[in-house]
Structure 1
Amino acid sequence: MSNQSLATRAVRGAFWTGGGLGVHLIVTLIFFRILNLEDMGYFIWAQRVLVLFQMVGVVGLNDALIKYQDVSRIHFSSAFWACLFVGVALFVGFIASEWLLIIWWGRTPNIAAFFDIAKPMALIIPLASVSGIVKAILARDLRFQSIAISEMVAALIAAMVGIGLLVSGWGIKSAVWNAITREIALLGGLWIAAAWMPSLSFSWAKLKALLPFGFNVSGANLLNNINNNLDKVYFVPVLLGPVAAGLYAFAYQYTMVPLNRASVVLTRVIFPAFSVVQRNNQTLRRGYTRTITAIALLSWPALIGGFIYGREILLLVKGEEMLSALNPLRLLILAGMLKAVGTVVGSVFLAKGKANWSFRWTLVNLIVFVPALYWGVRYGIDGIAAVLSVAAVLFLVVTQILVNRLIDLRMADYFKSFVGPFLTTLWIAVALVAVRSLTDLEPVEALLLGVVVGGIAYAFAVRLFARAFVMRFWRDFRGQ
């Protein structure tokens, strides 16, 4: 490893890993604008189901390889072959599940449309299973920029394939092959960056040393993903239909998905960094509070802009037919502001060896969440979004209390971390509300004006309320 400081590596890693996500969101926006809502509803439904299979496929071994200090080549090779076996088995099981569902319910239009999209996308399961192990090699060395470049290149290659197929008239299959291409290109890029190949040897003893931690992490991740995706896997698409699923998917895609992806990115960057200093609570506290301040300072202003200009955004994407997603969009933005600052909690649990805490809390959360969603679905996608907003408050409060116990963080110091971001966001909100109320423009013009005014307000607010923090962040990025 180079002599860069831990802070520099973490900050640069977090910065670079946003590129691939940005490309992905732009391409998805193009798909939403051109393809019909029903097809996009089925596509997002398939994506969410396959994410659950991917969670199982990696068995938490990637995090176990990062967590344990004394791992050898045989540990990585054994984990690789285990994940490949599990990934292939899950792929076969997913394909076979179509026949089981047909036997149970018959070949309904929903089942047929879902599997027409999901079956080719199931190739992602074994690919994602093994790419997690290759990422772990790079993450152990804090080579986050290598991971980020691989992700950005993969997103760009996938974008060219997806948009090319869309222009050629492939319809929803262009989105399907965009997703598959991205995973193939990502695995190839990671492999090149890691310059690693698994040996043909396999040690059950080495694998067993990783499995307890891996099972805890995998179980917590799986339950967390079930918890996060119940609305998109069952309640909305099955009980409300594919059009509602498409509307809800858009609202979720541009509020919660960036935060969920950011959570994965931050865990990848911060968990290895926190693991290095896991026994030093003072350093952990400083790193944790700086991280949540940075997240709030970056995400809250953007989210409040989306809240204020939600109507214009929806009209621009697809016209009047999208306005049914306005209330869910705004409710999910409020939930997202809370979830954004809670993304680092998992990294603290993992670094402190408390993956079981995350698992248990997620299980409790799931028990409460299911009946709440059954209540919310009576009110359509508005009710589902309202349940998610309330759940975000509960989740943040409980998990933050647990984190405070782990790293000896006072609640007053926790809230102090948000003074700068809160004042910055409030300043921007006042400016945007004033401009929006004083003008009567078309959606494109209103959004462009909002971006300009919001950007200027952000620059002034940061200078007034968070200048010292931003300067320290910049020094870390430059390695000073």
Structure 2
Amino acid sequence: MSNQSLATRAVRGAFWTGGGLGVHLIVTLIFFRILNLEDMGYFIWAQRVLVMFQMVGVLGLNDALIKYQDASRIHFSSAFWACLFVGIALFAGFIASEWLLVIWVGRTPNIAAFFDIAKPMALIIPLASVSGIVKAILARELRFQSIAISEMAAALIAAIVGIGLLVGGWGIKSAVWNAIVREIALLGGLWIAAAWMPSLSFSWTKLKALLPFGFNVSGANLLNNINNNLDKVYFVPVLLGPVAAGLYAFAYQYTMVPLNRASVVLTRVVFPAFSVVQSNNQTLRRGYTRTITAIALLSWPALIGGFIYGREILLFVKGEEMLSALNPLRLLILAGMLKAVGTVVGSVFLAKGKANWSFRWTLVNLIVFVPALYWGVRYGIDGIAAVLSAAAVLFLVVTQILVNRLIDLRMIDYLKSFVGPLLTTLWVAAALVAVRSLTDLGHVESLLVGVVVGSIAYAIAVRLFAWAFVMRFWRAFRGQ
């Protein structure tokens, strides 16, 4: 495979995959606008808990199959059956956990409301466990567009079902079934795209060849997920209550969740591409710096727009009751700007065979993060968001130093990658601050004006500060 075709497939995959995420965010916004804030708090809480079970269910075998260049059909089939078994066991364990919690602490209103939403959603666990293996088949072949089309179709099908149920008066159950249908449709789409069926054979020997790398990846992913979700599965919903959880969930959903999803997308696209050139540090450096430049150029201007127009956004969503989320929203936006450019670090670790680095670093993060969250929760959701922002600075600095050592990247070259995105972001920020201060409009009209002015300012800034870079990516997208 030529370097040009590799770049083209990676860029196209990243581009198309954003469509499914966009549909998901729009549908979630509709749910937030219409449904009770407390119910949405329980729903997002259930989602975050179930994601942890999904992380365990796939056993890291999807990444191991991508990394293991001699993987055969029997490797994939053995991994599929192992993940299906573990996924079903985790599903059963989650259902049983309600009974254990009731014995331990009693059937409190929080536990009852949580499991009413979470139990049907637990069907996602075995589905997600096996879809990771099917996805790995497509990722090995760099068929990112096939993955993206499957995700887009799944998001659209789920949106039709979810919005239809919402209109029909199903309340929070419409959001629950939106999530379930999305996972079912995704697995079906991936299976059709891969045109693959597991054989009925199983080889423990073949599976053992994948498990060491898979366990390192799975352990790092699980710890990282716990690290990223401690605030949403314990500190906010348990210690601050479901209304605070709903407010915080919205602030997080529209700042950090897109970045976390982008991280999954980028790892899926960039890790296989980096794995092809894992022994060539020069090519890796070039691919890495171009990727983080693209991420910053796309995310920073949008995030700064959200920071400036945070009040108007919250008023648009649900009126005055949402304004308590303004400070967390802005703090998480600042954290998001840093985390956005750190999303590719994990792909470099994996491509260079350093999954154990990810695992160990995530463990250190967890040790630092837990006491910090206990301090932050005393100040409500503002304090939790402040802890996340401070942690984002520390984690980015340390992980970037590790990456620089791994691929022989100088810090000055890393920082140069952000010149164009930084100038573009400052240009957009100046335009938005100016128009916001010079106009006196309602929140909806102000948002519309901000979107128009911000888009125009962004287009001008890209032409001035990042045109050559954008055209390079455009040529890669077109396969030139």
TM-score range, shorter chain: over 0.9
Secondary structure of the equivalent of 1:78? Answer: helix
In the other structure, the counterpart of 1:337 is: 337
Give a deviation string over 1:310-344, Cα, whole Å, max 9, x none: 00000000000000000000000000000000000
Secondary structure of the equivalent of 1:81? Answer: helix
Separation in 2, partners of 1:442, 1:64: 52
Separation in 1, partners of 2:401, 2:102: 46
Give a deviation string over 1:394-439, Cα, whole Å, max 9, x none: 1100000000000000000000000000000000000000000010
Give a deviation string over 1:119-151, Cα, whole Å, max 9, x none: 000000000000000000000000000000000
Separation in 1, partners of 2:95, 2:288: 42
CA contact (8 A) 2:240 2:380 kept: yes
Give a deviation string over 1:246-276, Cα, whole Å, max 9, x none: 0000000000000000000000000000000
Separation in 2, partners of 1:473, 1:114: 45
Change (3 A) 1:360 1:308: same
Give a deviation string over 1:204-232, Cα, whole Å, max 9, x none: 00000000000000000000000000000
Change (3 A) 1:118 1:354: same
Map 1:407-446 onto structure 2 (within 5 A): 407-446=407-446
Secondary structure of the equivalent of 2:4? Answer: coil
Change (3 A) 1:425 1:3: closer
What is the CA distance between 1:443 and its match in structure 2? 1.1
Separation in 2, partners of 1:172, 1:202: 41
Separation in 2, partners of 1:359, 1:72: 27
Give a deviation string over 1:62-87, Cα, whole Å, max 9, x none: 00000011110000000000000000
Matched length: 480
Separation in 1, partners of 2:29, 2:419: 33
In the other structure, the counterpart of 1:175 is: 175
Separation in 2, partners of 1:74, 1:45: 38
What is the CA distance between 1:5 and its match in structure 2? 1.1
Moved more, 438-447 or 133-142: 438-447
Change (3 A) 1:3 1:414: closer
Give a deviation string over 1:276-311, Cα, whole Å, max 9, x none: 000000000000000000000000000000000000
Change (3 A) 1:418 1:222: same
Give a deviation string over 1:93-136, Cα, whole Å, max 9, x none: 00000000000000000000000000000000000000000000
Give a deviation string over 1:357-393, Cα, whole Å, max 9, x none: 0100000010000000000000000000000000000
Separation in 1, partners of 2:204, 2:219: 21
Map 1:36-435 onto structure 2 (within 5 A): 36-435=36-435
Change (3 A) 1:463 1:3: closer
CA contact (8 A) 2:274 2:347 kept: yes
CA contact (8 A) 2:4 2:476 kept: no
Change (3 A) 1:141 1:2: farther
Separation in 2, partners of 1:145, 1:473: 16
Separation in 2, partners of 1:16, 1:174: 26
Give a deviation string over 1:423-473, Cα, whole Å, max 9, x none: 000000000000000101111111111011111111111111111101111
Separation in 1, partners of 2:329, 2:357: 31
Separation in 2, partners of 1:442, 1:200: 63
CA contact (8 A) 2:345 2:399 kept: yes
Moved more, 452-461 or 174-183: 452-461
What is the CA distance between 1:4 and its match in structure 2? 6.1
Give a deviation string over 1:153-198, Cα, whole Å, max 9, x none: 0000000000000000000000000000000000000000000000
Separation in 1, partners of 2:170, 2:457: 43
Separation in 2, partners of 1:150, 1:4: 25
Separation in 2, partners of 1:8, 1:16: 12
Moved more, 461-470 or 114-123: 461-470
Change (3 A) 1:3 1:426: closer
What is the CA distance between 1:58 and its match in structure 2? 0.1
Secondary structure of the equivalent of 1:210? Answer: helix
Separation in 2, partners of 1:441, 1:357: 51
Q: Which residues of structure 1 form unaligned runs of 5+?
A: none
Separation in 1, partners of 2:216, 2:401: 21
What is the CA distance between 1:2 and its match in structure 2? 9.6
Secondary structure of the equivalent of 1:423? Answer: helix
TM-score by length of 1: 0.99
What is the CA distance between 1:3 and its match in structure 2? 9.5
Secondary structure of the equivalent of 2:3? Answer: coil
Separation in 1, partners of 2:429, 2:2: 42
Give a deviation string over 1:17-38, Cα, whole Å, max 9, x none: 0000000000000000000110
What is the CA distance between 1:48 and its match in structure 2? 0.1
What is the CA distance between 1:234 and its match in structure 2? 0.1
Separation in 1, partners of 2:458, 2:112: 48
Separation in 2, partners of 1:334, 1:136: 33
What is the CA distance between 1:351 and its match in structure 2? 0.1
Separation in 1, partners of 2:26, 2:4: 33
Separation in 2, partners of 1:22, 1:467: 25
What is the CA distance between 1:240 and its match in structure 2? 0.1
Separation in 1, partners of 2:328, 2:478: 40
Change (3 A) 1:22 1:277: same
CA contact (8 A) 2:235 2:373 kept: yes
Separation in 2, partners of 1:247, 1:226: 20
Secondary structure of the equivalent of 1:343? Answer: coil
